[in-house]
Amino acid sequence: MPSDLSTRVTAPHDPRGRLISIFVGAVLLPSLALSYVSIEFVPQLAKANKEMGFRRAANTLADIEKDLARAAQARATEAAQAVGWERLLDGREHVIAIALETAGFDGHIFETLHLEGASALRRGWTADARSIQSPRDILEGLEPIPPRTEDAMPWVDSAGKVSGVLRFRFTPEFIRERLIPDYFAHDFPNPDQSIVVRVTGEDGSVIYETAPTRDNRFEVDRPLETPSLRGLRLALRYRDLSIEQDVRRWEMGTLALIGFIDLMLGAGLFLAYSNVQREAHLSRLKSDFVANVSHELKTPLALIRLFAETLELGRVPTEDKARQYYRVINKESQRLTQLINNILDFSRIEAGRKEYRFAPTNVGRIVSEVLEAYRFQIEQQGFELTVEVEPDLPDVEADSEALGQALLNLVNNAIKYSRDTKALALAVRGSGDRVLISVTDRGIGVPKAEQRKIFEKFYRGEASLVHETKGSGLGLSLVEHIMEAHGGSVEIDSAPGRGSTFTLVLPRSQKKKE
Ligand code: ADP
DSSP states along 248-297: HHHHHHHHHHHHHHHHHHHHHHHHHHHHHHHHHHHHHHHHHHHHHHHHHH
Same structural domain for residues 299 and 324? no
Distance CA 1, CA 20 (A): 12
The conformation of residue 510, written as its DSSP 8-state character, comes to P
Ligand 1 site-directed mutation target among 446, 479, 502, most atoms within 8 Å of CB:
446
Tell me, what's the pLDDT at 489?
96
| Residues 23 and 271 sit within 8 Å (Cβ to Cβ) | no
Measured in Å, residue 78 CA sits from the centre of ligand 1 at 105
Single out the residue of 481, 331, 353, 471 nearest to residue 405, CA to CA: 481
Tell me, what's the pLDDT at 16?
63
Same structural domain for residues 286 and 330? no
| Residues 488 and 378 sit within 8 Å (Cβ to Cβ) | no
For 42, counting Cβ atoms within 10 Å of its Cβ (0-12 exposed, 13-18 middle, 19+ buried), the class is: middle
Tell me, what's the pLDDT at 143?
56
Question: 384-389 and 423-431: which strand pairing?
Answer: parallel
Q: Whose CA is nearest to atom 20 of ligand 1?
A: 413
Same structural domain for residues 74 and 217? yes
Question: For ligand 1, is residue 446 a contact (CB within 6 Å)?
Answer: yes
Q: Whose CA is nearest to atom 17 of ligand 1?
A: 461
Question: For ligand 1, is residue 500 a contact (CB within 6 Å)?
Answer: yes
Measured in Å, residue 460 CA sits from the centre of ligand 1 at 6
Decide if 127 is inside a domain.
no
Measured in Å, residue 410 CA sits from the centre of ligand 1 at 9
Measured in Å, residue 10 CA sits from the centre of ligand 1 at 38
Distance CA 454, CA 474 (A): 9
Q: Whose CA is nearest to atom 16 of ligand 1?
A: 461
Q: Phi, psi at residue 424, to the nearest 5°?
A: -135, 125
Q: Domain of 263?
A: 1-109+171-303
> The pTM is what?
0.54
Counting from 1 in the atom list of ligand 1, the atom nearest the Cα of 459 is 10
Sheet holding 195-200, edge to edge: 206-209, 195-200, 233-238, 220-223
Single out the residue of 267, 260, 269, 263 nearest to residue 26, CA to CA: 269
Decide if 144 is inside a domain.
no
Question: For ligand 1, is residue 499 a contact (CB within 6 Å)?
Answer: no
Decide if 156 is inside a domain.
no
Distance CA 128, CA 162 (A): 6
| Residues 444 and 463 sit within 8 Å (Cβ to Cβ) | yes
Decide if 224 is inside a domain.
yes
Ligand 1 site-directed mutation target among 341, 476, 483, most atoms within 8 Å of CB:
476
| Residues 426 and 384 sit within 8 Å (Cβ to Cβ) | no
Task: Fill in the amino acid letter for 355.
Answer: E
Same structural domain for residues 384 and 470? yes
Decide if 153 is inside a domain.
no
> Cα separations (Å) of 198 from 116, 186, 237, 240, 457?
35, 16, 9, 16, 78
Question: For ligand 1, is residue 476 a contact (CB within 6 Å)?
Answer: yes
| Residues 249 and 272 sit within 8 Å (Cβ to Cβ) | no
Q: pLDDT averaged over consecutive 10-residue blocks of the chain (514 residues)? A: 53 62 77 82 90 93 93 91 88 88 87 77 58 61 63 81 85 92 90 89 90 82 89 90 89 89 83 81 81 83 92 89 89 86 87 89 91 82 92 90 93 92 95 93 95 91 83 90 94 95 86 45
Same structural domain for residues 219 and 341? no
Q: What share of the chain is helix, strand, coil (3-state, %, to 5)?
A: 55, 20, 25
Distance CA 359, CA 512 (A): 10
Measured in Å, residue 461 CA sits from the centre of ligand 1 at 6
Measured in Å, residue 413 CA sits from the centre of ligand 1 at 6
Q: Whose CA is nearest to atom 14 of ligand 1?
A: 460
Distance linking the first and last C-alpha atoms of the chain: 49
Decide if 122 is inside a domain.
no
Same structural domain for residues 260 and 398? no
Q: Whose CA is nearest to atom 7 of ligand 1?
A: 475
Q: Which residues pair with 168 in a beta bridge?
A: 113, 151
Domain count for the chain: 2
Same structural domain for residues 363 and 288? no
Tell me, what's the pLDDT at 339?
86
Measured in Å, residue 494 CA sits from the centre of ligand 1 at 12
Q: Which of 269, 303, 337 is the last residue of a domain?
A: 303
Measured in Å, residue 411 CA sits from the centre of ligand 1 at 11
| Residues 196 and 239 sit within 8 Å (Cβ to Cβ) | yes
Counting from 1 in the atom list of ligand 1, the atom nearest the Cα of 466 is 16
Counting from 1 in the atom list of ligand 1, the atom nearest the Cα of 418 is 24
Q: Whose CA is nearest to atom 13 of ligand 1?
A: 460
Decide if 141 is inside a domain.
no
Question: For ligand 1, is residue 151 a contact (CB within 6 Å)?
Answer: no
Ligand 1 site-directed mutation target among 426, 450, 454, most atoms within 8 Å of CB:
454
Same structural domain for residues 49 and 188? yes
Same structural domain for residues 229 and 98? yes
Question: For ligand 1, is residue 413 a contact (CB within 6 Å)?
Answer: yes
Q: 41-95, pLDDT tens digit by residue?
A: 888 999 999 999 999 999 999 999 999 999 999 999 999 989 988 888 888 888 8
> Cα separations (Å) of 191 from 42, 68, 88, 242?
32, 18, 40, 18
Decide if 402 is inside a domain.
yes
For 82, counting Cβ atoms within 10 Å of its Cβ (0-12 exposed, 13-18 middle, 19+ buried), the class is: middle
Q: Please report, to the nearest 10 degrees, the dihedral formed by the alpha carbons of residues 185, 187, 188, 189 taken in order.
A: 120
Ligand 1 site-directed mutation target among 408, 413, 418, 442, most atoms within 8 Å of CB:
413
Question: For ligand 1, is residue 441 a contact (CB within 6 Å)?
Answer: yes
Same structural domain for residues 241 and 280? yes
**Crossing angle of the two packed helices 400-416 and 319-350, in degrees rounded to 10:** 120
Q: Whose CA is nearest to atom 19 of ligand 1?
A: 413
Question: For ligand 1, is residue 166 a contact (CB within 6 Å)?
Answer: no
DSSP track, 408-466: HHHHHHHHHT--SS-EEEEEEEEETTEEEEEEEE-SS---GGGTTGGGSTT---SSHHH
Measured in Å, residue 498 CA sits from the centre of ligand 1 at 15
Q: Whose CA is nearest to atom 8 of ligand 1?
A: 473
Tell me, what's the pLDDT at 377?
78
Question: For ligand 1, is residue 167 a contact (CB within 6 Å)?
Answer: no
Angle CA(220)–CA(225)–CA(230) in degrees, nearest 5?
A: 100
Tell me, what's the pLDDT at 177?
92
The conformation of residue 47, written as its DSSP 8-state character, comes to H
> Cα separations (Å) of 90 from 25, 84, 94, 100?
87, 10, 11, 15
Q: Phi, psi at residue 110, to the nearest 5°?
A: -105, 140
Measured in Å, residue 228 CA sits from the centre of ligand 1 at 100
Same structural domain for residues 280 and 406? no
Same structural domain for residues 283 and 371? no
The conformation of residue 367, written as its DSSP 8-state character, comes to H
**Crossing angle of the two packed helices 15-23 and 243-312, in degrees rounded to 10:** 170
How crowded is residue 411: how many other Cβ atoms within 10 Å of its Cβ? 22
Q: Which of 255, 273, 303 is the last residue of a domain?
A: 303
**CATH code at position 442:** 3.30.565.10
Distance CA 505, CA 435 (A): 6
Q: 454-489, pLDDT tens digit by residue?
A: 999 888 898 888 888 878 888 999 999 999 999 999
44, containing H or E segment: helix 29-83
Q: Whose CA is nearest to atom 3 of ligand 1?
A: 471
Tell me, what's the pLDDT at 281?
80
Q: Which of 257, 275, 303 is the last residue of a domain?
A: 303
| Residues 458 and 278 sit within 8 Å (Cβ to Cβ) | no
